[in-house]
A = this chain, B = another copy of it.
Amino acid sequence: MIDLCTLGTGGSMPMPDRALSSLYVRVNGRLLLVDCGEGTQTGVRRAGWGFVNVDAILITHFHADHCGGLPGFLLSIAKTPRTEPIHLYGPVGLRQVVSGLCVVCPPMPYPMILHELHGGETFSAIGLTITCFSLNHGVPCLGYRFELPRAAAFDPEKARALKVPLPLWRLLQQGEAVDVDGRRVEPSQVTGEPRRGLSFLFATDTRPVPALVEQGRDVDMMILEGMYGDEAKRPQALKNRHMLFEEAAGMARNAGARALTLTHFSPSLEEPEAYLPNAQAVFPDTVCASDGLCMTLRYQGR
């Protein structure tokens, strides 16, 4: 399963009860952060997920509300016993931004490995396969699709048919081949059909683009910006290259996503829920995130 926590759900400027956009992702106890606006380290403390197990930090783009919290977040990790490397991913320019922001940081007790992305790359972190893709925000801005594969189920009938003794089942279940009376039995011989894994997509700060629909195809959840609530803000959405609630919902509907969570609300949206019907009219399974909202994606079926 995958745990998600929207540490901050604000865009542009933080509000007293809405920190800047950032998402914490947990798989098997390991952590990954998407975006790190000012206030992220406080959000981590509120969530209680800790800092020590962060293996990767993904930045969507280099506007301050998406990366201004990096020095504090990295320093909070530095106060844990962590010494293993941390991988940072972001658009081209990542080196310059990290180098600039870390002017106030002493040398860290862990190596930082920086990966500058152009969009289109696929990489792995905390067990997730991650694909990045380009958005439309005026500056280089990336969306990320995350996939957690699921192993095919062990099929006892197949194991019995191959006369595998019971004590060897556990090895096959763990993915190891075994020898049975001189025959080699591979795990793939005793498993059923491939099973659907889990997937989600995170994208903020963009106009609607075909990549959102392509990358969001069939995902368990899309997490998209809900910068502006209604039609009245369309001029700002066009000018600042953001989405309206209904536009984000349209992306989720067209992608065939299973659920949509809106985040990254404009400071002008005092109550995002008031505009939720505008999204639900297009895509019913929509919710508005709030700071500290935790959601779990679980495998469906056996």
Contacts and interface: CB of A to CB of B under 8 A. Distances in A.
Interface of A: 13-16, 19, 38-39, 41-42, 45-46, 62-65, 67-69, 71-72, 75-76, 79, 96-97, 99-105
A75 B42 CA distance: 20
A282 to B, nearest CB: 31
A76 to B, nearest CB: 6
Contacts of A68: 38, 68-69, 71-72, 104
Contacts of A71: 38, 64, 68
A188 to B, nearest CB: 49
Contacts of A46: 16
B13 A41 contact: yes
A68 B45 CA distance: 18
Contacts of A102: 100
B72 A14 contact: yes
Nearest to A72: B38
Q: Is the interface of A mostly helix, strand, loop or mixed?
A: helix
Given A101-B101, A103-B100, A41 B14 contact: yes
7 contacts: A14-B42, A14-B72, A16-B42, A19-B42, A38-B68, A68-B69, A101-B104
A38 B99 CA distance: 18
A63 B71 CA distance: 10
Contacts of A75: 13, 64
Contacts of A13: 41, 72, 75-76, 79
A38 B76 contact: no
A80 to B, nearest CB: 11
Contacts of A38: 38-39, 41-42, 68-69, 71-72
Given A38-B39, A41-B14, A97 B104 contact: yes
Contacts of A45: 14-16
B14 A67 contact: no
A41 to B, nearest CB: 6
The 6 A-B residue pairs with the shortest CB-CB distance in the complex, in nearest-first order:
A100-B103, A64-B104, A100-B100, A38-B72, A64-B71, A14-B42
A142 to B, nearest CB: 16
A14 B38 CA distance: 11
Given A13-B79, A16-B46, A38-B42, 15 more contacts: A13-B41, A13-B76, A14-B41, A14-B42, A15-B45, A38-B71, A64-B72, A64-B104, A67-B104, A68-B71, A68-B104, A97-B103, A99-B103, A101-B103, A101-B104
A255 to B, nearest CB: 31
Contacts of A65: 72
Nearest to A19: B42
Contacts of A15: 42, 45
A81 to B, nearest CB: 16
